[in-house]
Structure 1
Amino acid sequence: MELWGHSADEWGRRHRLEDHLRGTQERARRHAEVFGAGELAAYLGIVHDVGKGACSWQNGLLRAEASGGRVGVPHKHAGTWLADKAGLDVFSGVVFGHHGGLPSKAGLEAALDEADNEQSSLVQEAIDRVAARVPEILDGPDFPVWLEEAAARDPLVVEVLVRMVFSAVVDADFLDTEEHFAAAPRREHPVRACDLAERFEEGLRAKLARRKPTPVDGIRRRVYAQAVAAAEGPQGFYRLPAPTGSGKTFAAAGFALHHAHRHGLRRVIVAVPFTAITEQNAQEYRDLLDRQGEEPVVLEHHSGVDLDDGDDAPEHRWAKLAAENWDAPFVVTTTVRLFESLFDRRPAATRRLHNLAGSVIVLDEVQSLPDGMLVPILSMLRTLTEHFGVTVLLASATQPAFFELSPLRDISARDIITEPAPLYAELSRVDYEWWCDPAPSLQQVAERAARCASVLVVCNTTAQAGELHQKIQRERGAGKGPVLHLSTRMVALHRKKTIEEIAGLNAAGAPVAVVSTQLVEAGVDLDFPEVFRAFATAEAMQQAAGRCNRSGHLDKGRVVVFEVAGEDGRLRTGGEFVYGAALGATRAYFGPGRALPDDLEALSRYYPVRFTGKGVEKRGEEIQKARTDCDFPKTAALFRMIEEHTVPVVVPHAVPEAESRVRQVIGLLRRGVPAGGLLRELRPYLATLPKGAVGRQAAGLLAPVAGDLCEWLGDYDPLRGIELSDSQEYVL
């Protein structure tokens, strides 16, 4: 009697279990050979579905095939039991978790206890029937030769290897199953990152030839040349300490691709903190690397990209498939997606991890990584660099003192810019002015900003930004250019269009006043002669300064750092609410009579104090303990890149031309239609509100849609979006 692994495809052909096990074995082997664990992954691949050999599972498959229902018979215990008996210990969880996710040790022990007791007859029957056709399931593998020595030096290397092998096996399982139902294998991408350096150079030369020259072009060329020269170095950690406007986006990619060429690496992953920067950078890289009529090489993958909208164009289908496992030579994503995948336990989230091996990971705007997650993040990156063939580039105008934290304390990074201080001095395009003592009122800030022809004002809270926007509107009057606003109280599409409008006005030299929260700072390519910034952390103030005289057309731009005093004389800037203890560390080194935000020496003293004050080491201990225990569910629950203080709200009337379709989608979700693609369709029309304000102010103005998503029933200002007057909650 034949054993089947999957039901019939549309041509009526069932998938033989023997073929599925061997197909998964070979794919898993290829995936894991990159990091020296090919045999381990291959064995886990060939035993992962052994449980399907039981008669009850086979009969269940035939019933499910006829009815369209589920098999309803567990099949994970047999392969898990085999792996454990082969001495694979925690790696047995790869088999048990290949559908539901990596288990904890306690969960794995419970599963093995089941396999030895109530599931024992089912387990043994499945093993006997499958072994008759695939006898190699009874032969366990050896561990990678490098593992014992590595584990002696790095107690977390086993945990990371489990994740990487799990990724290799579940991706192999997905791909082999997909091949059966599609009746055709998915072809691996024919291009590797190491093949792209010359293509990048050609594209960059063409782009620069078309671009209007700026006074800082010579400096940017020198920065780029240093990045390419540094790419010849060995694999490991690198830093790119380059001030804003120095061409960091292209220098980082140039380093990554030339480094990949030097070491034969497979892909480059560029991770940035915010979706808006991801979209911007992905388009820049696409212009340089993708070629008409050829398979794309740049994959843009983040929550704002709709990969389920039914578009069957070849490039869209390629992006959808490549996003599943990052089978692309150049990936642009967000730091949230990258690191939450690295610390996740679910198959769909982790199947791309094996493709990180043999790559360059570029972390842009690295100062934006959350302090509380730094210890596990840096620990993970170190393990990847030391054992999985990864090079990490940390790019930022304000390089945090990461190498003084415990995971990196005994190693060092190579600096692409070996003497950054002269570069910062040469690229100094602004004069700072402190407006703190006496602190002005919000009205005084509005009056002064309104007199500027073009100005950007950056606030710490949405409430302050909204109030200041209204005041500047009144003060500025007609005929002096628009007064625009940016915050996450506006839906995503509204923000995107506003940023495009601002960029167009900047390029035309037309007057415009913009009041924004911090979302405008990191990487958004805007250029103002004057910037007003509410007092914040040093890196936030410097990032705001990066939007001032960005192209160097002025001798000096002006950055005014202000603190607002309320009627009672108390400061109302909102910085303490947003930045907590980090703001206290900033005040110790920066401000009137102290250093400017771009003072490198002061920054080198500030970061250690900031990290100590915020208890960075202490906050990482619980996650590291869960990782040491290989408690994958607990690690996933504890690791959160974004504090969940906000709730998403859909505003159907924010974009009138889309209102009808948005309301239709809301109706479908309320009727219980599966949410995946529908939720992605709503993303351009989502804003966020602080949880506290939802119960306090928004009562009666919100209607539930699905999960924690609500519909906003109140007014939507065409410039400021949703307005809640008394909320000081910061929303990026």
Structure 2
Amino acid sequence: MELDPRTEQMNERREKARQEVHARAKEFVDDDRNVATLTLPTGMGKTLTGLDAALTVLEESDMESSPNVGRLVYALPYTSIIDQVAEQSHELFGTGERGERLTVDHHLADTLVSPPDEPESVADDAVENVAALLGESWRSGMVVTTFVQLFESLAGPTNARSMKLPSLYGSVVVLDEPQALPLEWWPLVDRLVELLTEEYGASVIAMTATQPELLSAGDREPFSLVSDPDPYYDELDRLDFVLHPSAVAMLPGQNETGGETNDDAESAALPYDRAGELVAARADDGDSVLAICNTIDSARELVESLDDRTVSLDVNEVYDELLDDADESTESISPEQTRAEAVRRQRPGQPLLVHLTTRHRPCDRRHLIDVASDLAESGEAVLFVATQLVEAGVDVSFDEVIRDFAPMDSLVQAAGRCNRSYDRNRGRVTVWQLAPPPNRETTPASAVYGRGESLTKLTGQALATIYDGEPMPEPDVTRSAVKHYFDLLEGRGVGADEYVEFLERAEAEQLGRLSLIDERPAVDVIVTRTAEERETVEQIRQAFREYRWEELDDLVESTADWQVSIPVYPGDDDTMEKLAACEPLFPDTDRLVLDGRPGRHDGYFDATDGVVIPDTSVEARLL
């Protein structure tokens, strides 16, 4: 297929970056530092470039020592993008020596690695036990996992997690998007990386478009796999950042009231009726728009505002009707079918609306993301309203991205979904500050990212260094403002130093209590939308009644793609009372089941909004 000149130019830049990183990865092997950074803008193919660099380090290290030493460990912040990286790895490596065995390890994964030989005389359950052991101990050539699995295993390993540690010897560990690590963990992560390099002989590559001052590499600058990132950012000047007046108010001394406090800035926040008008105007121009909100109820409020101001076609409902029509035939619905049906129903000039949050099932999220991406790529006026779940690792490209005010790295990640591969002459990223949703007292930005000396305040200070009232070119934000932001963070002395002290004093009990994620109590709700899914639920209940425990575990694991987790906050009796109306998956389990068909569990599931707890008071805090 013949590519247009801009796509060819983009591919040439990606290949230039890959070749430079590949060459410098060989130099990194001979350097006395074991920590490297890979800094490239979004859309430059960092995943494949980083994988190539890691394999190069492994191969060059093998040549200098003994063959087949170590493995590639690829760690990410979010489970939502692990499967994508694993799929790319399978495509890239095929069944070669390094790619023949790949482990995907996170809390929802079925972590199995088949033994090299499976004699017919060995019972199936014994083979499965060996496969589980190999998977959980990271014995494959490549492991794709989360920061939680990697760093919590190093900091305070349980018996099960300690099985992973021997596999880290001589390995190459890629940290994808390290800035997403919780700030309080930064000093401990720096110390754990030092432990990895000194005690395990591992090499570490930190890879991101917004590189934080996180890893010390033994009080020295880490080795840079890109000698000078600036030219790559300058060449990738594909969009402008525009600050809406509500966002300008977040800059020091710039809010409309002339005050300096956070409350003054919040008073300038944008109401949802005006936000809906702004997005609707973009639809009238035929643009595709991705609007990223900070909270679930904020996204829902924006969708309602759009419904009032446009005659949009709800793609979520189109998908729901296709599922319902194909229900009894058990046929699966492809994104191509949903896209084609939405376009068939679309009236001339009618925008297409897609809504996604973590209240939608993982399988439905992937489906609708693919649909929205295809619609935008084909030039349709699609309005995609979502929470932060689309910010990292989601390959979509829109004419305009609108982002509720957030920390600097989130703004840059969101911008990576705009004009991603030069699909348009020039993209636009608008930053606004949305008002509190109904019955809320604080803006979504303050509710999620804190008040006072918050990350959003530091973002405002960083943007103020480059903002002159005009649209800001992409490199000014992604390089100059980002650098200033991380300088401010470093000067603020982020991180919990006591975490490092726990490690130095080997306080296992304290380390074991640390967690990279906010472990809020939550209820897992399995939403069934097809006959096949309902049949699986019946098989689970039958296995429970017949005491077939291994089969029960396997069947429950197979429902992970249909599960939505509903956090329950202390004292929130209202949510617990409403969830009690849902049927348990089987006796003595916390998992609940919702039938997603129309007319069943009305008020608890909606095609557009996903799982809904009627009149709950905590939805604004759920991301």
Secondary structure of the corresponding residue to residue 606 of structure 2? coil
1:423 aligned partner, one-letter code: Y
Distance 1:605 1:717, change over 3 A: same
Number of the residue aligned with 2:489: 610
How far off its partner does 1:676 sit? 4.4
Secondary structure of the corresponding residue to residue 503 of structure 1? helix
Mapped contact 1:356–1:390 kept (Cα < 8 A): yes
Number of the residue aligned with 1:430: 239
Work out which of the residue numbers 572, 579, 584 in structure 2 matches 1:701.
Answer: 579
Structure 1 residue 440 corresponds to structure 2 residue 270? yes
Number of the residue aligned with 1:651: 526
Counterparts of 2:196 and 2:51, CA distance in 1: 20
Mapped contact 1:260–1:360 kept (Cα < 8 A): yes
Distance 1:593 1:711, change over 3 A: farther
Mapped contact 1:533–1:559 kept (Cα < 8 A): yes
* 1:550-565 equivalences in 2 (<5 Å): 550-565=420-435
2:561 aligned partner, one-letter code: P
Deviations 1:329-373 (A, max 9, x none): 222222222222223432222212111110110111111111122
* 1:521-532 equivalences in 2 (<5 Å): 521-532=391-402
Secondary structure of the corresponding residue to residue 466 of structure 1? helix
1:367 aligned partner, one-letter code: Q
Number of the residue aligned with 1:340: 152
| Higher radius of gyration, 1 or 2 | 1
Distance 1:690 1:313, change over 3 A: farther
List gaps (5 residues or longer) in structure 1: 1-206
Counterparts of 1:424 and 1:369, CA distance in 2: 24
Distance 1:249 1:319, change over 3 A: farther
List gaps (5 residues or longer) in structure 2: 63-68, 119-126, 247-267, 314-345, 595-600
Counterparts of 2:273 and 2:541, CA distance in 1: 41
Deviations 1:280-304 (A, max 9, x none): 1111110111239998233323233
* 1:483-522 equivalences in 2 (<5 Å): 483-522=353-392
Deviations 1:620-661 (A, max 9, x none): 41x333322323233111x20110235132133355541232
Secondary structure of the corresponding residue to residue 377 of structure 1? helix
* 1:546-625 equivalences in 2 (<5 Å): 546-565=416-435, 573-580=443-450, 581-590=454-463, 593=468, 598-610=477-489, 613=492, 616-617=494-495, 619-621=496-498, 623-625=499-501
Structure 1 residue 273 corresponds to structure 2 residue 64? no
Deviates more, 1:355-364 or 1:716-725: 716-725
How far off its partner does 1:500 sit? 2.6
Deviates more, 1:392-401 or 1:232-241: 232-241
Counterparts of 1:715 and 1:468, CA distance in 2: 20
Counterparts of 2:607 and 2:558, CA distance in 1: 21
> TM-score by structure 2 length?
0.75
Structure 1 residue 354 corresponds to structure 2 residue 137? no
Structure 1 residue 687 corresponds to structure 2 residue 564? yes
Secondary structure of the corresponding residue to residue 584 of structure 1? helix
Deviates more, 1:497-506 or 1:555-564: 497-506
Secondary structure of the corresponding residue to residue 641 of structure 1? coil
Secondary structure of the corresponding residue to residue 611 of structure 2? coil
How far off its partner does 1:393 sit? 0.5
How far off its partner does 1:562 sit? 0.8
Distance 1:663 1:257, change over 3 A: same
Number of the residue aligned with 2:294: 460
Work out which of the residue numbers 614, 618, 622 in structure 2 matches 1:727.
Answer: 618
Structure 1 residue 545 corresponds to structure 2 residue 545? no
The number of equivalent residue pairs is 517
Distance 1:223 1:208, change over 3 A: farther
* 1:326-475 equivalences in 2 (<5 Å): 326-403=138-215, 410-437=219-246, 439-450=269-280, 451-452=282-283, 453-475=287-309
Q: CA RMSD in A?
A: 3.6
Percent of residue pairs bearing the same amino acid type:
28
Counterparts of 1:270 and 1:448, CA distance in 2: 40
Distance 1:308 1:322, change over 3 A: closer
Higher relative contact order (CA 8 A, sep 6+): 2
Counterparts of 2:526 and 2:149, CA distance in 1: 25
1:274 aligned partner, one-letter code: Y
1:602 aligned partner, one-letter code: A
Distance 1:663 1:467, change over 3 A: farther
Distance 1:663 1:470, change over 3 A: farther
Work out which of the residue numbers 616, 620, 630 in structure 1 matches 2:506.
Answer: 630
Mapped contact 1:366–1:394 kept (Cα < 8 A): yes
Number of the residue aligned with 1:239: 37
Mapped contact 2:112–2:134 kept (Cα < 8 A): no
* 1:144-183 equivalences in 2 (<5 Å): none
Counterparts of 2:435 and 2:448, CA distance in 1: 17
Deviations 1:387-444 (A, max 9, x none): 32111110011111114xxx65722201112221221121121111111345432122
By percentage of residues, which structure has more helix? 1
